[in-house]
Amino acid sequence: MARRRASFANHLVIMAKSPVQGRVKRRLGRDIGAVAAAGFYRHCLSHVVQRLARDPRWHTVLAVDPDRDVATAVWPSSKRVALLPQGGGDLGCRMQRLFAHLPPGPVVIVGSDIPAIRPAHIAAAFKLLGGADAVLGAARDGGYWLVGLKRSPRLLSPFAGVRWSSAYALADTVANLDGKRVAFAAMLSDVDAAEDYRRERASAARLIPARTAGCP
């Protein structure tokens, strides 16, 4: 029985970019400076991984971009985290590939730049998948910070034609899931601009290195 539970475990995937100045949070960098933006992302990534990976209710995977950086030392270290490359294509292609290739069991995918995310949000999403085919966590900008699929009895493909990085990303994905049971998790947001940072300040402030804490 223990072996069966292990083979159908919950899987949490955290999507992450190599935390290099100029490669991450470029829009935020235009508002608060590239160094501060990269520092924010690096700290946020570390906090999200440490906060979520220690929970034994799921197996945690860090899906990294670019693929060549899988073997580098830029990622938060944790014995409970497996590293995988995201592969090529747009965000939908990369997420669909992860859904297709992970071991059996429900899969939830989240971003790495959501300061307010907590294990309780992930646990709630997996619980919702118990009675749904898919779960989505809406963001205030019309996108979403979380997507999960039960993957049983078959894997759904909800990402065709989704207008990523737009106010239509969530609506497009929901439309692709027409006729399926879709549940909605809590609303959270990433931090893409100074306005987002100000709105999420209670969660984000401690993730900014002390020398940049005065940024707007």
pLDDT of residue 203: 58
pLDDT average, residue stretch 98-112: 96
- Range name among 4-8, 103-107, 168-172 with the lowest pLDDT average: 4-8
- Average of pLDDT values for 10-37? 88
High-pLDDT (> 90) share of the chain, %: 63
* Angle (CA) 63 189 19, round 5°: 40
Instruction: Tell me the whole-structure pTM to 2 decimals.
Output: 0.88
**pLDDT, mean of residues 93-102:** 97
**What are the domain boundaries of the chain?**
2-210
CATH homologous superfamily of 2-210: Spore Coat Polysaccharide Biosynthesis Protein SpsA; Chain A (3.90.550.10)
Higher pLDDT, 85 or 210: 85
Q: How many Cα atoms sit within 13 Å of 86 on the Cβ side?
A: 22
Task: Give me Rg for the CA atoms of the chain.
Answer: 17
Q: Return d(Cα 58, Cα 179) in angstroms, integer.
A: 28
C-alpha closest to that of 134 among 113, 116, 108, 114: 108
Residue 206 confidence class, pLDDT cut points 50, 70, 90: low
